[in-house]
Chains A and B, each alone.
Chain A
């Protein structure tokens, strides 16, 4: 059977939030700019990046995602997320290892209601005619620089966004322990471009993904979309195979 992750869930919680209430209502954020830079990664550490509930994809991948909203119910914000591509049983998923968000209402809501592993920072999403980029600095050090180069329009329906499995310390039945919280946003895309993927800087330790090494570019996309963050419907025990460890709320 496929390779399972072998990370101790406790080691994946350095930036995991605590969620005391999973009864989250859906929320739509309009006109979000979304940059998604996808790379294949060094397969020697693919199992160490995921808990036993999840399988690495064949080949293993990382998604560097930049989002920027200029207004909306959570105000203006910019978010950078690093996600490891994976499978929960037969479902395509991504496990965020860490996210950096500008300070404000969005950071709080994304953390508390949807379990994003956020720390506050100043990610910058830049849009140019020949490229789009996301950059994150930690002090004077650039810990992430990724871009889409030479964008060309593609169909709005050509894109496929996968759901996230967010590690969070969930308070449930009188116990607080790590769970994988399934977050499957809906994307209503109004514009989409595709181009070459390029990662110029990636500090795997900063992103809580030790030894994750992007090695082969796949592609990058840049879209404008209304994103509906969902009501949480499922959580999964990170220690059990997702096919048996998933719990409907």
Chain B
């Protein structure tokens, strides 16, 4: 089991007094502590226009800052929006390669397509097309990374033969992931040999079904990249406190605030009926977390990692038994939890929860850093 931290970068109103600057730098401080504590990765979303919920519109910059201030922690795009109106695929490939170089081969490359009208409408993108464009991106970006020159003529874009530069530091390229929020997307990830980057807050039974479908299908995959990244990550909340009741109560403020904010956005399906978005995805799932009034939670929902270390160990063992390889934790929303408490929670998790878990799960994934180091040393 690996552990990551996951950023939406939620900024409360009023947006004055340098609040965005403050929140960003608090996030960076958390990342530095997470690196010291031994977290595996830091992930940052790409969202646009999502007031208060996420002010993380340039994750590649945030992740670069993370990489520059840390030593071990991997940096993850969670995710790059693979829609032309958001990111041209060549630019996505170039930026990722630079981030991989600057981080000494620590990039995890997540892909996805956005689930809100707030964003797709704002970018004048057609919700009907996003599955198709995402598919093209996942096929072509690894080719741009691994071929000296590359040309392409497709549906979402075309390019005459050019050298897309620089190339990633990790060889053959960084691990690739798919954001999984809609049911069935884990199959899309498996069929393309990509990691399943869960972004919804489901229960154990739902997750176990997803994992089983993923593991079963990935055996026969046709990898989008040059290797298979068979890993299942899920997202969760984290608030760890020595006193269980305090941990749950404080953590419930976090889960409630996050779900409440998410519900204010406009999922595609609510206003733009399309088969491309069969359900509201992240937003509906997160609403389940907001059924309680923020701050009034007395018990923690199944699987949510809030409470004392013993409770967290117990819950994470259950996730592990569902076949989950990695949990990425959301640490705050709307600055509901004071920074010092967030940092204390991270440290306590590192001291008393992490030692109960080892990463002994065999994976078909080549360890990217070893490959990168090998390539840099002239190995095969």
Contact = CB atoms under 8 A, between A and B. Distances in A.
Interface of A: 1-3, 38, 40, 55, 57-59, 61, 85, 87, 89-92, 154-155, 158-160, 162, 192, 194, 216, 218-219, 221, 243-244
Contacts of A160: 269-270, 273
Contacts of A218: 117, 121, 271-272
Given A2-B261, A87-B264, 6 more contacts: A1-B13, A1-B257, A1-B261, A61-B271, A90-B263, A160-B269
16 contacts: A1-B52, A2-B260, A57-B266, A58-B49, A58-B51, A58-B118, A58-B266, A59-B118, A59-B266, A154-B274, A155-B275, A159-B273, A160-B270, A216-B121, A218-B272, A219-B272
B13 A90 contact: no
Nearest to B117: A218
Contact of B264 (A58, A194, A216, A221): A58
Contacts of A2: 51-52, 260-261, 264
B201 to A, nearest CB: 13
B50 A58 contact: yes
Contacts of A91: 263
A91 B291 CA distance: 10
A89 B261 CA distance: 9
Contact of A158 (B259, B265, B275): B275
Interface in B263-285: 263-266, 269-275, 278
B308 to A, nearest CB: 28
Contact of B266 (A61, A216, A244): A61
A92 B270 contact: yes
Nearest to B289: A90
A142 to B, nearest CB: 25
Contact of A40 (B51, B121, B259, B263): B121
Contacts of A216: 121
Interface residues of B, number: 31
B263 A194 contact: no
Nearest to A221: B273
Contacts of A192: 273
B290 interface: yes
Nearest to A40: B121
Contacts of B334: 1
Given A1-B13, A216-B121, A58 B265 contact: yes
A3 to B, nearest CB: 8
A3 B12 CA distance: 11
B287 A90 contact: yes
B321 interface: no
B293 interface: yes
Contacts of B273: 154, 158-160, 192, 194, 219, 221
A87 B271 contact: no
Interface of B: 12-13, 49-52, 117-118, 121-122, 257, 259-261, 263-266, 269-275, 278, 287, 290-291, 293, 334
Contacts of A61: 266, 271
Closest 7 CB pairs of A and B: A90-B263, A158-B273, A2-B264, A90-B290, A90-B287, A159-B273, A219-B272
A14 to B, nearest CB: 27
Contacts of A243: 293
A1 B290 CA distance: 13
Given A2-B52, A243-B293, A89 B272 contact: no
Contacts of A244: 293
A168 to B, nearest CB: 25
A221 B260 CA distance: 28
Nearest to A155: B275
A194 B264 CA distance: 24
A38 B269 CA distance: 13
A219 B291 CA distance: 30
B131 to A, nearest CB: 14
Contacts of A3: 13
A244 B256 CA distance: 14
Contacts of B269: 158, 160
A54 to B, nearest CB: 11
Contacts of B264: 2, 55, 57-58, 87
A158 B274 contact: yes
A218 B13 CA distance: 27
B115 to A, nearest CB: 13
A89 B296 CA distance: 15
Contacts of A221: 273
A84 to B, nearest CB: 13
A111 B195 CA distance: 54
B372 to A, nearest CB: 41
